[in-house]
Chain A
């Protein structure tokens, strides 16, 4: 079953089985229609396992955001929300991406490292589960779960941006998975001031990324 993003479907002893610990309930197998015996089905999920589906299946809207996907509208609507203002820098750290998956214990390691230094995005699904002061999950049962990915979104002021990047660097050596890191900055004309700050300090952004072109109305 090559359709499974986390290789949770195994063939053994003449049977095909789903490793329930590895399965992140993303439903990619079910959606693919690849099972010739039509034997796949989505069981009803209780707490906390339902988090796997909410964080992994892009066609399931998370209850806290009502948006299908794993985070918020972040900078995509920043021209009308003003979520990130001039002088602020945003971060989205997507644990488990691309395609490795993450345990929520690793998510907590990063959120604990950030707590007290950043402002967590209030509408984000991970923020809804943690104590923002400590970064710890309010319900320890969450730590037993995993997801294809989970995004921690936060922001700080530009003058503290490098401090946060160094925290990411430190904690990246303590996790048993990967994360991809987004840095969100406001433009000044056709310049991106925080990009230069990063480059001058050894953090080299990739050549491609996302640009909100400021056509939303009314402008924030």
Chain B
């Protein structure tokens, strides 16, 4: 499960793209028991993430996912994809007790603030930050936490000629499960070029397909604007 990994883009573009993930290991019972009922600790995690202006936030409940993504309005719901507000997520009292949550940020300062608060409250839940390593390490230093393990990307190997072109690949790889097809990217970019869709709405249409809800619609809209000329 490496769905926040292998995001493509220049350093400048990736500097606007960080994901904070929480996870409780299903096999480690001591982690479930640490520091009180898990559901309460997960709720604290979301409260902290919400305070620092995430561009996306997702919580799992019994049977569904509550998905906030900036720019996603109920009029844009389709299929199984349903938008939620940050308020709905924070008020939800049916959070699943599996400890998984994600928040996406457009800058490292928010990540620094989130890490500082998470260190302070000591939830005992594993926290992973995806993004440019030197900035994440800098955030760790400033928050007073020490990186434990890293997962590095050596990129894509094999028949790389099959991959779509640069900016399209950047938009596709923001969903690590490949639910955002390159043809859908081309279709929405075409609509933006013709003026029948805004870049922001196009970003949401792509982000909706990412059911883990880790799509960065702010960064995506920038890339779409660049592609649509």
Contacts and interface: CB of A to CB of B under 8 A. Distances in A.
Contacts of A3: 181, 184, 209
A168 B162 CA distance: 19
B128 A80 contact: no
Main SS class of interface, A: loop
Interface string B136-173: 11001101011111111111111110111000010011
A3 B184 CA distance: 6
Interface in A78-137: 78-81, 84, 92, 94, 97-100, 123
13 contacts: A5-B180, A32-B209, A34-B79, A58-B212, A77-B126, A80-B28, A97-B156, A176-B159, A190-B141, A206-B155, A208-B133, A211-B129, A215-B125
A215 B126 CA distance: 5
B182 A218 contact: no
Interface residues of A, number: 81
Nearest to B4: A210
Nearest to A209: B152
Contact of B211 (A58, A100, A189): A58
Main SS class of interface, B: mixed
A187 B150 contact: yes
Given A28-B179, A182-B154, A211-B133, 13 more contacts: A4-B183, A73-B1, A75-B128, A98-B178, A100-B159, A149-B178, A182-B152, A190-B137, A210-B4, A211-B130, A213-B127, A213-B146, A215-B127
A157 interface: no
Interface of B: 1-7, 11, 14, 21, 23-28, 30-31, 34-35, 78-81, 115, 118-119, 122-134, 136-137, 140-141, 143, 145-160, 162-164, 169, 172-173, 176-184, 186-187, 208-209, 211-212
Contacts of A185: 149-150, 152
Interface in A169-201: 169, 172-173, 175-187, 189-190, 192, 195, 198
